Each structure stands twice: as C-alpha cells, then as structure tokens.
C-alpha cells in the first residue's frame, strides 16, 4: 500500500508528453490497492496570466481528460487544488524553510524566465514550494511525473527532511516515479528540446485533441535526419523520438518497430505512425467529448474529491501547526 499522487496544470492543451509522462503512469498505479490523489493545480496555473473564463473551461476540460484516460473517481481523489486551502497554507510554512538559492537553482524557473525581465511574478518563483506542499500534505510515497519535474520532487524531499529534522517526524519523504520511455517526449520540430504547450509553434507538440488532418500535418513535418533508416540509436534525436511515440501509442517494443520497418524509409514509417496515433487518440477524444457534455457530473466529482482531500489535509495541518508551535492547546 502506498500513497500515489500527481497533478497537472489546467493549461487548455494537454499534449502526449503530459499523457505518457504523468497521466498513463498514474492510471497504471491506480489499480494496485493504493491511495490515489490526482488534482488540477489551478493555483500553479495563475503564476502566469490567465483569462478567468478560459481557466474555468480548462479546469473542466482537464477533469474530463483524466476521466477519459481511465482515472476512476472511486479509487482516486480527483479535485481542484484551490478547493483545499491547506495547500497554500502549508506552502507558506514551507516558504519559511526554503532558501532563495534553492529556488534560484530550479532549471524550469530559469527556462521560463529567460528574457522576461521584471515581469516575472513571485508566484512563479515560489511555484516549487507550492508543489512541495501539494505532495507533502498527503503523506505521498510515489509521484509519477515526467523528467522535467524530477528536480521539483527532489526539492520537496529536501524540504521534508529539513522540516522533520527541525520539528520531528512529520512528513513522508516522497519518491519521483519516472518511466523509462516517455518521461521526456521531445518536440516534433526540434528534438533537442522537450515537447511543450508553451512553444512558439504548434508543430512542436501533439495535442490530445488534434484531429486526423492535424496529426498528419505535424508528423509529416516532424524532424528526422539524412540517414533514412528506422533504427533507434543515440544521437538520432528526431527519429528516436518518433519511434518512442510509436512505441507509446502502439504498445509495441522498439525491437518490434525496428523489425517491422527494416529496409523501409521515413515516408512509410510516418504514414504508419500517423495511423497509430489516430487510432490511439480517437477513442480518447470521444470519451473526453462525452465526459464534457455533463458539466454537472464533473463538478460533483471534483467537489466530492475536494471534500475527502480537505479532511485528510486538515489532519496533517494540525500536526504541522502543532510541530511548529502555533497551536495553543
């Protein structure tokens, strides 16, 4: 028995990196008799400007997507981060244990703020501490995430250890769970950087909602190399990335894919990859659409999850308040 927890931002677009890096690994662990937490980190989302109307839609879309991906509300507490105020309360306490230098070293912060000057918010800087609070509040053992979140989970471990050393055993030390293939799906148009929804070009990523024509256009334009073979070797970034995507959507192994395309070129491989992606996406999109039709049901599921999460989180907060000396009786 373990506590499994992950969270994603409601950013409107979820791409296949998000799906294979975090959602699928979470869903696979969900069935092991574990206690499971999956939430929509709306307070992380507002570290960059959001349109309120769009944000509301994005939250519902995120919930519909997790359900469509196999998240079972009977086994998982599915909720909105903002509905459990203990997340921000604990983040404040952890802020007072976190060093500026630790946050300055976060590579994601450096990437997100390059050339942004004075407009960077304190919230964006503090984002990893809110994430540490998300994780530590629920005695989490395992955090399924993509490679890019590993450093943040390690920071959560460091903060938990510091708290426990100073105030006594309070927090479980969490471990990141990072899959071998798919933990870092690379951009289609630039396989030296990770697939990202905030990229300048939409040819960078495959959205879970892309239609057949869009998938075809993006895969046809995806970067390969001059070698022309379907062989996965270090250094062949574009081809290896496409083969990894093939592996993820089809369930076939790298060896099977190499064997199937021996002696064949990119045109045939890409055509087949387009079909595999569409076969994977279409039933998922259908389930997302079905789920989105019933807003009331989505809100009820999120609310029921929040109620349960609040009760667990409040118990932990009582322990924390007592440990740091602000609880009087």
Q: Which residues are catalytic?
A: 112, 194, 197
- Output the six-digit token pair for 301: 């599921």
Task: Specify the stretch interacting with ligand TYM by CB under 6 A; choose among 4-12, 49-57, 248-256, 294-302.
Answer: 4-12
Q: Which of 3, 9, 30, 250 binds ligand TYM (CB under 6 A)?
A: 9
CB of 46 to ligand TYM, least distance (A): 12
Distance CA 68, CA 171 (A): 32
* Total binding residues toward ligand TYM, as defined by CB under 6 A: 25
Distance CA 183, CA 92 (A): 30
Indicate the Cα dihedral angle 210, 212, 214, 217, nearest 10°. Answer: 140
Q: Which of 8, 68, 86, 208 binds ligand TYM (CB under 6 A)?
A: 8
288 forms part of the interface with ligand TYM (CB under 6 A): no
CB of 3 to ligand TYM, least distance (A): 12
What residue has token string 């087949």? Answer: 272
What residue has token string 């081809």? Answer: 239
38 forms part of the interface with ligand TYM (CB under 6 A): no
CB of 226 to ligand TYM, least distance (A): 25
CB of 120 to ligand TYM, least distance (A): 16
194 forms part of the interface with ligand TYM (CB under 6 A): yes
**HSE-up of 248 (CA within 13 Å, CB side)?**
27
195 forms part of the interface with ligand TYM (CB under 6 A): yes
- Name the DSSP class of 15: B
What per-residue string of b and e applies to 304-329 under the rule 16 or more CB within 10 Å gives b?
ebbeebeebbeebbeebeebeeeeee
Q: In angstroms, what CA-CA distances link 229 with 185, 192, 225, 277, 320?
A: 20, 19, 9, 20, 57
Looking at the Cβ atoms of 183 and 208, the one nearer to ligand TYM is 183
What residue has token string 């203990």? Answer: 86
242 forms part of the interface with ligand TYM (CB under 6 A): no
Q: Which residues bind ligand TYM (CB under 6 A)?
A: 5-9, 17-18, 21-22, 41, 44, 131, 134-135, 143, 145-146, 148-149, 152, 183-185, 194-195
């Amino acid at each position: 028995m373990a506590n499994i927890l992950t969270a994603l931002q409601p950013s409107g677009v979820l791409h296949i990196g998000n799906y294979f890096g975090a959602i699928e690994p979470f869903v696979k662990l969900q069935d092991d008799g574990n206690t499971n937490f999956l939430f929509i980190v709306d307070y992380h989302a507002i570290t960059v400007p959001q349109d309120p109307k769009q944000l509301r839609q994005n939250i519902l879309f995120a919930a519909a997507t997790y359900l469509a991906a196999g998240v079972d509300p009977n086994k998982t507490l599915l909720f909105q981060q903002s509905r459990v105020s203990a997340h921000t309360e604990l983040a404040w306490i952890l802020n007072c244990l976190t060093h500026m230098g630790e946050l300055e070293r976060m590579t994601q912060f450096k990437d997100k703020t390059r050339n942004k000057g004075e407009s960077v918010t304190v919230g964006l800087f503090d984002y990893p501490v809110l994430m540490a609070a998300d994780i530590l509040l629920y005695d989490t053992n395992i955090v399924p995430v993509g490679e890019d979140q590993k450093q943040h989970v390690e920071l959560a471990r460091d903060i938990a250890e510091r708290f426990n050393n100073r105030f006594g055993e309070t927090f479980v030390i969490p471990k990141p769970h990072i899959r071998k293939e798919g933990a870092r799906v690379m951009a289609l148009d630039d396989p030296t950087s990770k697939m990202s929804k905030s990229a300048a070009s939409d040819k960078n990523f495959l959205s879970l909602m892309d239609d057949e024509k869009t998938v075809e256009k993006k895969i046809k334009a995806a970067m390969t190399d001059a070698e022309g073979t379907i062989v996965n070797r270090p250094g062949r970034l574009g081809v290896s990335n496409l083969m990894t995507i093939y592996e993820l959507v089809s369930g076939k192994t790298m060896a099977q894919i190499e064997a199937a395309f021996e002696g064949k070129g990119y045109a045939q491989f890409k055509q087949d990859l387009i079909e595999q992606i569409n076969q994977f996406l279409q039933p998922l999109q259908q389930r997302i659409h079905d789920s989105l039709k019933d807003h009331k049901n989505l809100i009820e599921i999120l609310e029921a999850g929040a109620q349960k999460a609040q009760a667990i989180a409040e118990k932990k907060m009582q322990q924390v308040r007592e440990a740091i000396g602000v609880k009087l009786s």
